[in-house]
Amino acid sequence: MQKAGELLRGGELVAFPTETVYGLGANGLDGEAAKKIYEAKGRPSDNPLILHVASLYQFKELSGKLSRSAILLAGEFWPGPMTLVVKKNKHIPDVVTAGLDTVAVRYPANRDAQELIRAAGVPIAAPSANLSGSPSPTNARDVLEDMEGRIAAILDGGGCSVGGESTIIDTTTNRVAILRPGGIPVEMVEGLLGAVQLDPALQGVEAAVPKAPGMKYRHYAPKAKVVLCQTFQEIGAAVRENRGKKRKIGVIAQKRVVGCFSRVYRDGAELAEKLFAFLRDLDRKQVEIIYVETVLETGIGLAVMNRLRKAAR
C-alpha cells in the first residue's frame, strides 16, 4: 500500500479495486500524471476523469459551492457506488475535467481504495482500468490483460462486489439529473430527493447529446457479437439454429444451456456483478456470438441493461 502510494505521488499509474470496477489511478492534482491515463487507455481527451476521495472533507476541498442535493446525496450514499458532478475549484488540472467547469467526484466504499487514497495523500483521478471501449475490469487479471506494460502497478483486491460502474448524478443544474445509471438505483435517489431527471440520451432519444461525455462512445463491447434475448426460449432457438453451423456460441442466462459456453446468473444484482467478467471470459473462449437473457429495467437492472445495449450495438 505504501509503495503504491509512493508511485502515485511520483506521477505513476496504479490500478486499484473499488466496489464497482477497477480504476486506473493517477495523482488527481498533477496534470502530467493524469495525461498518462489517457495514453494508457487510448481514451479520447474530451472525456473527463472521476476524482476519488476518502473523506467528505476532501470532497469539499475539491468543489466550489455545493447545492443542497449534493450535500444530501453525499450524506446518504457515500462511501458507495455513486459519483457526483459538482462545480470544481480552480486547483483541479484541466486534463482531469477535460476543460469543463465541473468535476466528477466519488468516495468509494472499498477499504483498499480508501487506504490507497490515504497512502497517496491526494485525490486519485481514475477511469475504469480497461482499454477504451472494452468491458470494464472487475478483477486484477482482467486489468492485467489490458494494461500489462502500460502502468506501474496493480493493487490486487480480488473481485468487485457491485461489478457495474457508479451512478453519475449531476447536481449543478436546478433539477438533479442522472447522467449514467449505476450501482445506486434511481429509485433510491428518488426516495431521497423526489423525482429526478434521466439524461434524455439514456432513454434512446437520438439527437440528444449525453451530458457525461463518456456516454456517447461505444463501450463495454467484447470482441464477440452480443445479441439480447427477452426470453430463455429465444436463446434455445438461436442455439439450436447455430449448432448446424459449427459456431462457438456463448450464452449468459438464468439457466444453463448445454452444448455451448454457458454462464448462469440468478438475478439482476448477480448479472451486474458478473457481466463484465463473463464477457471477457467468453472472449477468451473465442466465441463468435454471445446471447444474453435480459433483465427488467428496475433497480440495478437499469444500469445492467444500459451496458448491455451498448455492448450489443
Chain contacts with ligand TXA (rule: CB under 6 A): 18, 20-21, 23, 47-50, 83, 85, 97, 100, 102-104, 106, 126-128, 165-166, 168, 179, 211-215
Q: Which of residues 214-253 bind Mg ion (CB under 5 A)?
A: none
Taking the C-alpha atoms of 130, 136, 140 and 146 in order, what is their torsion angle to the nearest 10 degrees? -30
Q: Could you tell which of Mg ion, ligand TXA, none binds residue 23, using a CB distance below 5 to 8 A set by kind?
A: ligand TXA
Nearest distance from C-beta of residue 70 to ligand TXA, angstroms: 13
Q: Could you tell which of ligand TXA, Mg ion, none binds residue 104, using a CB distance below 5 to 8 A set by kind?
A: ligand TXA
Instruction: Report the Cα–Cα distance between both ends of the chain, in Å, rounded.
Output: 39
Helices 301-311 and 268-284, interaxial angle, to 10°?
30
Nearest distance from C-beta of residue 32 to Mg ion, angstroms: 22
Question: Please, which residue, 170 or 293, has the CB nearer to Mg ion?
Answer: 170
**Contact indicator for 270, 296 with CB cutoff of 8 Å:** no
- The C-alpha cell at 246 is 459449427
Size of the site for Mg ion (CB under 5 A): 1
* CA nearest neighbour of 135 among 158, 170, 160, 102: 160
Q: Where are the alpha helices (DSSP H) in 49-154?
A: 56-62, 68-77, 94-97, 111-120, 140-147
Question: Please, which residue, 27 or 128, has the CB nearer to Mg ion?
Answer: 128
* CA nearest neighbour of 131 among 221, 11, 17: 221
Q: Could you tell which of ligand TXA, Mg ion, none binds residue 85, using a CB distance below 5 to 8 A set by kind?
A: ligand TXA
Question: Please, which residue, 125 or 229, has the CB nearer to Mg ion?
Answer: 125
Nearest distance from C-beta of residue 207 to ligand TXA, angstroms: 19
The strand ranges marked E within the chain are 14-16, 23-27, 50-52, 82-87, 102-106, 124-126, 153-154, 167-170, 177-180, 197-198, 225-229, 249-253, 261-264, 289-293
For residue 79, whether the previous peptide bond is cis, meaning omega lies within 30 degrees of 0, is yes
Nearest distance from C-beta of residue 50 to Mg ion, angstroms: 9
- The C-alpha cell at 228 is 439480447
* CA nearest neighbour of 127 among 282, 280, 276, 22: 22
Task: Tell me, residue by residue from 96 to 135, as one string, x for binding to Mg ion by CB under 5 A and - for no binding.
Answer: --------------------------------x-------
Q: Which residue is nearest to ligand TXA (CB)?
A: 214
Q: How far apart are CA 50 and CA 97, in angstroms?
A: 8
Q: How far apart are CA 34 and CA 193, in angstroms?
A: 34
Nearest distance from C-beta of residue 106 to Mg ion, angstroms: 13
Question: Please, which residue, 128 or 167, has the CB nearer to Mg ion?
Answer: 128
Nearest distance from C-beta of residue 212 to ligand TXA, angstroms: 4
Q: Could you tell which of Mg ion, ligand TXA, none binds residue 50, using a CB distance below 5 to 8 A set by kind?
A: ligand TXA
Question: Please, which residue, 31 or 133, has the CB nearer to Mg ion?
Answer: 133
Q: Could you tell which of ligand TXA, Mg ion, none binds residue 301, using a CB distance below 5 to 8 A set by kind?
A: none
Question: Please, which residue, 261 or 276, has the CB nearer to ligand TXA?
Answer: 276
* CA nearest neighbour of 117 among 166, 160, 34, 54: 54
Question: Which residues sit at the interface with Mg ion, rule CB under 5 A?
Answer: 128
